[in-house]
Amino acid sequence: MVIGITGGVGCGKSAVLSILEEDFNAHIIDADKVAHRLMEPFNPAYDKIIACFGEAVKDRGGFIDRKRLGQIVFNHKEKLKCLNSIVHPMVKEAIMEEIRDINSLKTLIAVEAALFIEAGYMDICDELWYIYTDNESRIERLIKSRGYTREKTESIISSQLSDSEFRRHCHIIIDNSGSRADTKAQIAAALNNQSRK
């Protein structure tokens, strides 16, 4: 079974993945880590990103400076579209390949991607889970963990899919606003319901 894990920034997707891995023996695939690997020198996305954005996105070591690249695309829709058109198809293919390689070894695979819905990854999963946390808790988490200002955090949240959009596309809602034990209980219930199908 392949579960897609999605939700907005600060909702606690990492905590859910940790529970799935530690308590339910899931194999975790993190789309961001896959993308980072593909963007390293001598990997498929690297040359295409340099061709699209120029040498200025490289750091002194010749690696793509993801922070600089993020700053470039954050307020430029066309440049973001170019980056996504390069990265997302390659990431999706790499994830599908990893799923094929491990499918016979693990019964549960969880794939995490913040842009799961926007990037069209739904078709590689049996179920899509939305990790929900109220906005104020998300803002507080990001201010504390990443040092963001409230203004920056609210700007990022407003640029992502709305709660109603996530709910419309996802099969399961995990409310991650409470304790780890509460979140774990919801995950166990969702997996138990799946096993009965």
**Distance in angstroms (rounded) separating the CA atoms of residues 103 and 26:** 11
Domain ranges of the chain: 1-26+107-197, 33-105
- Note the pLDDT tens digit of each residue in 43-96: 889 999 999 999 989 999 999 998 889 888 877 888 888 898 999 899 999 999
**Distance in angstroms (rounded) separating the CA atoms of residues 54 and 60:** 14
Establish whether domains 1-26+107-197 and 33-105 are of one fold: yes
Instruction: Convert 109-142 to b/e letters by CB count within 10 Å (16 or more is b).
Output: bbbbbbbbbebebeebbebbbbbbbeeeebbebb
User: Homologous superfamily of 1-26+107-197 in CATH?
Assistant: P-loop containing nucleotide triphosphate hydrolases (3.40.50.300)
- Note the pLDDT tens digit of each residue in 4-57: 999 999 999 999 999 999 999 999 999 999 999 999 998 889 999 999 999 989
Query: What is the structure's pLDDT at 164?
Result: 94
**Distance in angstroms (rounded) separating the CA atoms of residues 94 and 169:** 23
Identify the weakest region by mean pLDDT among 26-30, 118-122, 131-135, 188-192.
118-122
Is CATH 3.40.50.300 what the domain over 33-105 is classified as, yes or no? yes
Q: Is the pLDDT of residue 132 over 90?
A: yes
